[in-house]
Amino acid sequence: MGLMGLLNKGSVYAERLPGASIVMAPVNWGIDNAQAYSMWYMLFGLACCAIELMATGSSRYDFDRLGMFYRASPRQSDVMLIAGTVTLKMAPRVKMLYEQMSEPRFVVAMGGCASNGGPFYYDSYSVLKGVDKIIPVDVYIAGCPPRPEALLQGCLAVQKKVRTYKLGQPRGAAIRIGQEANASRLALDNLVPPRAFDDLQILDIRGQKHE
């Protein structure tokens, strides 16, 4: 505990020395980017958004390109994707899971239900009207459910937030990924070609080439 705490707070103390910021700037840049590129998300799905979450994690969209992969334990995960409707019965569990996560931790409210109660359950007696009533949310993603592209854009937004986040300081305002993200497939195409296996043919169920 002592060593780990020293390791974590070391940079904070080192920055107080005169002229240390020149040395610490590249170190901080490295640490920020390291944290941004290894956001392990929690294996946690609540409703139909979880299906889109699984689709994003699988071959076509591939979370692993961002360095994200699932951990089943909240202690080891960095980001919690609230994928689906949070019922009042589930809400204490969601809060408990958030409390079990280790700092720095981030929350993405995925879809309408997690953001504000949703398009279908807005008048339901048993649904929490937005997960930000119990835990702080960093990124809201619109959609019901959001397309995988929108979720990827939300994760890129989380990465942007991780890079500027400093431990113990208030985190900035929440980022909102709008409806237009769902329509456009802009998420990652500019950065990396989405498929490296153009030579592989996708065959449909009858064994013919997929158009």
Partner 1 sequence: MLIALIAIYAAVSVNALFLIWLERKISGRIQRRQGPMLCGPKMMAQKSMWLGGWFATACDATKLIFKEDIIPSKVDRLGFILAPIVVMLAAIAVYVPIPWSATSYHQTEQVTFAFADLNVGLLYIVAVPSLTVFSILTAGWSSNNKYSMLGGFRSVVQMLSYEIPMVFALMGPIILAGSLSLGDIVKAQTQGLFGIPFLGWFIIPSVIGAAVYFICAIAESNRPPFDMPESEQELGTGFNTEYSGMRFAMFYLAEFSNAFVVSSIFTAVFLGGWSIPGITPPPELNLGFCILPYFDLLVGLVVFSIKAYSVLLILMWIRWTFVRVRPDHLMNFGWKFLLPLSIANVIVCTVIAAVQQIYYGGLS
Binding site for partner 1 (CB under 8 A): 1, 4-5, 7-8, 30-31, 33-35, 37-38, 43, 58-59, 62, 64-67, 69-73, 75-76, 78, 102-104, 191-193, 196-197, 200
Closest to partner 1 by CB, 131 vs 156, is 156
Nearest to 45 by CA among 115, 98, 94, 105: 94
Please give the sequence-ordered ranges of beta strands (E in DSSP) within 84-187, or none if there are none: 106-110, 139-141, 175-177
Nearest to 188 by CA among 141, 153, 144, 140: 153
Closest to partner 1 by CB, 190 vs 208, is 190
Q: In what order do the strands lie in the sheet with 139-141?
A: 70-71, 41-42, 79-83, 106-110, 139-141, 175-177
Shortest spacing between CB 93 and partner 1, in angstroms: 13
What is the C-alpha separation between 62 and 164, in angstroms, rounded?
A: 25
Shortest spacing between CB 184 and partner 1, in angstroms: 20
Nearest to 105 by CA among 131, 128, 137: 137
Closest to partner 1 by CB, 129 vs 160, is 160
Shortest spacing between CB 65 and partner 1, in angstroms: 4
Closest to partner 1 by CB, 125 vs 197, is 197
Closest to partner 1 by CB, 64 vs 180, is 64
Shortest spacing between CB 113 and partner 1, in angstroms: 24
Shortest spacing between CB 21 and partner 1, in angstroms: 18
What is the C-alpha separation between 65 and 76, in angstroms, rounded?
A: 19
